[in-house]
Amino acid sequence: MKILSVDDSAIIRKIIRNGVELLDYEFIEAGDGQEALAILEESYNDIGLILLDWNMPGMDGLDFLQKIKENSVMQYVPVMMVTTESEKENIIKAIQAGAINYMVKPFTIEELTKKIVECIGEGM
Amino acid sequence: MSTNLTSKDFLLFQKYIEEQCGISIRDDKAYLIESRLSRFLIKFGLADFETLYQMLSQQKNQSLAEEVIDALTTNETLWFREKSPWQVLEDKLLPYYIDELRQGKCSTVRIWSAACSTGQEPYSIAMCIDTYLMRHRITDITLEQFEILATDISNTVLQIAQRGKYDSISMARGLEAHYRDQYFRQEGRIWVLDEKIKRAVRFVKFNLQKDFIPLGKFDLVFCRYVAIYFSNTFKKEVLKKISSVLVKGGLLVLGNSEVFFDSKENFQVEQYENAIFYRVRGDKN
Amino acid sequence: MEVKLGGNDFFQKCLAQAVFDVFEMMVGMEANHIMDESDDQLSEGDITGVMIIQGDRKAMLYLTLKRNDAAEIVSYMTGMTVAEVTDEDLYDGVAELVNMIAGRAKALLAGTGDHYTITPPFTIVGNGHFIVYKKEVSKFTMKFSAGEAKLYLGLTYF
């Protein structure tokens, strides 16, 4: 099963990779929303979870989320936000837009792995 | 409003938190109290930290106390947390257990790690026992004769614990080099625990509100840094239930800074190397 | 009651706490605030990550460090060896550090009625560069150590 990390920072994606691979999932990545959409179009069936940054240039995380939720097949891929954004109202916005979980940066790998297992384990 | 934590305030809070919540705040972590608790001054419209302290010590507001504990608690899981349980294990308990096993007084030594989280504690127990056997060149007794049951209420942490894989930051939390070198191999950025140690621990989902009797009897119970999250009533109940599943002379280990009032009813307090242990009272079980 | 963003000790303490937290969680190192006269010194370094913070006042938050310190920190964060860390990684890493510090400080202020918005971070690169202010400008600089590395975190109001 693949886990897709969408974040404009290669360093953050590398850190997330460590957590994903610790759980023995296959890691794939995208530096922005457009790239992520292209990946999803091809492999939406194999992707078990999207870890999505909020503040990205161009299409931000919320726009991306709304876009995939409008897509007939992509909408079923679960999404967890991974972001510095911590304000409650924004967390609510993200959940209402369809994110199933939320993790704030900075995070430990331990927390990341727990959250991934929470998302996938619940079979959402 | 003053959001400055004076040294007097700091000492008051340090003491209060240690007594009430079982968390010890190191002197150099005064920042922790100030930055994490300042928001309470604002939230409750208090003038200064002394006022917050008054509120807490009057114990009128349970939810405030809980929020304060929550704000101060870090979520890191440690290997070999604190020196004393491992010392007492090596110096007193293991020689005793090995003797009991050799004399055939029991066939297995049963140890319970309650609220085991991502597995560091039960695996530390297994590594400690295995290393002891190796160091003392004991071949007639093996790790297999020790049964380690590890429970937690959360499926998530259990799933992670069962994998026995850890990232380098998690590994750095209290794991000495010799344990790491002996029991882990590195695969890229991930550390993988030896199968032998993994096999020594059985992970089971368990809610401490349930009846403990079906778990059987234990020689040793680790229940560390979980009761701090419980209400006083529930804490008392859990510790009492533990006393009923300890074998005669069985031992309970709490966190060093955890306070256990009213222990005398079911336990006698023993001290070893500056730490306190609770032996179930002889007139029980 | 509103806590003013400008000239407040409390915010500085939140930032210091944010540095400790970010380093502990993401780098696996304990950061220590070094309190000496260098608090007022120029912070000199090779790479500076910057963010603009907009609260009731506008401020610039920056994190300055030397190249080899940045490389060590990025190596710890990602598990790469220092040799594997590219220039891109360094600039990205320092930007992310200041990004997370600002974000974390913001979270620590939550519920205080005080909040701010932050821009995406950017990085200034130049060996031995330093940042100069007019003396009257309201600002503070904090010096930290993490392992062998030294970092300067500064906030300037404008």
Q: How far apart are CA C34 and CA C152, in angstroms?
A: 10
Burial B131-168 (b: 16+ CB within 10 A, else e): bbbeeeeeeebebebbbbbbbbebebbbbbbebbbbbe
Counts of helices then strands in chain C (DSSP H, E): 3, 7
Q: How far apart are CA A19 and CA C130, in angstroms?
A: 36
Strand partners, B167: B190
Q: Is the pLDDT of residue A37 over 90?
A: yes
The pLDDT, as a whole number, for residue C1 is: 26
Domain limits of chain B? 7-72, 84-165+194-280
Burial C65-87 (b: 16+ CB within 10 A, else e): bbbebbbbbbbbbbbbeeeebee
Mean pLDDT in residue range A64-71 = 95
| Coil/strand/helix, residue A12 | helix
Cα dihedral C119, C121, C122, C124 sign: positive
Q: Is the pLDDT of residue C43 over 50?
A: yes
Q: How many CB atoms lie within 10 A of CB C145?
A: 15
B104: left (phi over 0), alpha (psi -120 to 50) or beta: left
- Total-model pTM: 0.80
Confidence of residue A30 (pLDDT cuts 50, 70, 90): very high
**In the block, which residue shows the tokens 């928001």?**
B39
Q: What is the tens place of the pLDDT at every residue in C58-107?
A: 889 999 999 999 999 999 999 899 999 999 999 999 999 999 999 988 88
* CATH hierarchy code of domain B7-72: 1.10.155.10
User: Is the Cβ pair B190, A22 closer than 8 Å?
Assistant: yes
Q: How far apart are CA A115 and CA B156, in angstroms?
A: 8
The pLDDT, as a whole number, for residue B46 is: 78
If 0-12 CB within 10 Å is exposed, 13-18 middle and 19+ buried, where does residue B122 land?
Answer: buried
CB B257 within 8 A of CB B18: yes
Determine the distance in angstroms separating the CA of B51 from the nearest CA of chain A, rounded to an integer: 28
Strand partners, B190: B167, B187
Q: What is the tens place of the pLDDT at every residue in B62-118?
A: 667 766 766 665 555 778 877 888 999 999 999 999 999 999 999 999 999 998 999
C55 interfacial to chain A (CB closer than 8 Å): no
Phi/psi for B107 (5° steps) reads: -95, -25
What is the per-residue DSSP string for B177-190?
HHHHHHHEEEETTE
What is the side-by-side order of every strand in the sheet holding A79-83? A26-30, A2-6, A47-52, A79-83, A101-104
The pLDDT, as a whole number, for residue A68 is: 95
CB B211 within 8 A of CB B51: no
A-B contacts (CB, under 8 Å): 46
The pLDDT, as a whole number, for residue A86 is: 80
Nearest to A106 among C92, C100, C110 (CB): C100
CB A100 within 8 A of CB A124: yes
Nearest to A107 among C25, C95, C115 (CB): C25
Confidence of residue A49 (pLDDT cuts 50, 70, 90): very high
A85 interfacial to chain C (CB closer than 8 Å): yes
CB B250 within 8 A of CB B217: yes
Architecture per CATH, domain B84-165+194-280, reads as 3-Layer(aba) Sandwich (3.40)
A14 interfacial to chain C (CB closer than 8 Å): yes
Q: How many CA atoms lie within 13 A of C151 on its CB side?
A: 31
Q: How many CB atoms lie within 10 A of CB B59?
A: 10
* Dihedral angle computed from the Cα positions of residues B165, B168, A108 and C78, in that order, rounded to the nearest 10 degrees: -120
**What are the chain A neighbours of C110 within 8 Å (beta carbons)?**
86-88
C147: left (phi over 0), alpha (psi -120 to 50) or beta: left
Q: How far apart are CA B161 and CA B148, in angstroms?
A: 13
Assign 3-state DSSP to chain C and report helix, strand, coil percentages, each to 5. Answer: 40, 30, 30
Segments in chain C forming alpha helices (H): 9-22, 67-78, 87-108
**What are the chain B neighbours of C1 within 8 Å (beta carbons)?**
1, 42, 45
**What are the chain A neighbours of B156 within 8 Å (beta carbons)?**
114, 117-118, 121
Q: Is the pLDDT of residue C41 over 60?
A: no
Q: How far apart are CA B243 and CA B265, in angstroms?
A: 10
What superfamily does domain A2-121 belong to in CATH? Response regulator (3.40.50.2300)
Confidence of residue C108 (pLDDT cuts 50, 70, 90): confident
**What are the chain A neighbours of C71 within 8 Å (beta carbons)?**
none
CB B126 within 8 A of CB B197: yes
The pLDDT, as a whole number, for residue C3 is: 33
**What are the chain A neighbours of B118 within 8 Å (beta carbons)?**
110, 114
Strand partners, C49: C63, C123
The pLDDT, as a whole number, for residue C4 is: 37
User: Is the Cβ pair A22, B169 closer than 8 Å?
Assistant: no
C-alpha angle B233/B39/C150, rounded to 5°?
110
Q: B107 or C117, which is more confident?
A: B107
Which residues neighbour C42 within 8 Å (Cβ) at sequence distance 6 or greater? Answer: C130, C131, C132
- The structural domain count of chain C equals 1
* Dihedral angle computed from the Cα positions of residues B52, B55, B58 and B59, in that order, rounded to the nearest 10 degrees: -100
Among C13, C35, C74, C75, most B C-beta atoms within 10 A, so best to mutate, is C13
Residue B13 carries which DSSP code? H
Structural domain boundaries, residue C42: 9-157
Closest listed residue to residue C89, CA positions, set C70, C108, C112, C62: C70
C77 interfacial to chain A (CB closer than 8 Å): yes
B-C contacts (CB, under 8 Å): 44
A-C contacts (CB, under 8 Å): 61
C123 interfacial to chain A (CB closer than 8 Å): no
Q: How far apart are CA A73 and CA A76, in angstroms?
A: 6
The pLDDT, as a whole number, for residue B20 is: 60
Domain limits of chain A? 2-121
Which residues neighbour B246 within 8 Å (Cβ) at sequence distance 6 or greater? Answer: B217, B218, B219, B221, B252, B280, B285
**What are the chain B neighbours of A16 within 8 Å (beta carbons)?**
none
Radius of gyration of chain B measured on its C-alpha atoms: 21
Q: How far apart are CA B168 and CA B266, in angstroms?
A: 41
Closest listed residue to residue A62, CA positions, set A85, A44, A30: A85
Confidence of residue C23 (pLDDT cuts 50, 70, 90): very high
- Return the biggest CA–CA distance within chain B: 68
Residue C135: CATH number of its domain: 3.40.1550.10
User: Is the Cβ pair A114, B157 closer than 8 Å?
Assistant: yes
Residues in chain B predicted with pLDDT less than 70, given as ranges, are 1-4, 18-24, 28-32, 35-36, 38-39, 42-43, 60-63, 66-67, 69-76, 257, 283-285
User: Is the Cβ pair A117, B163 closer than 8 Å?
Assistant: no
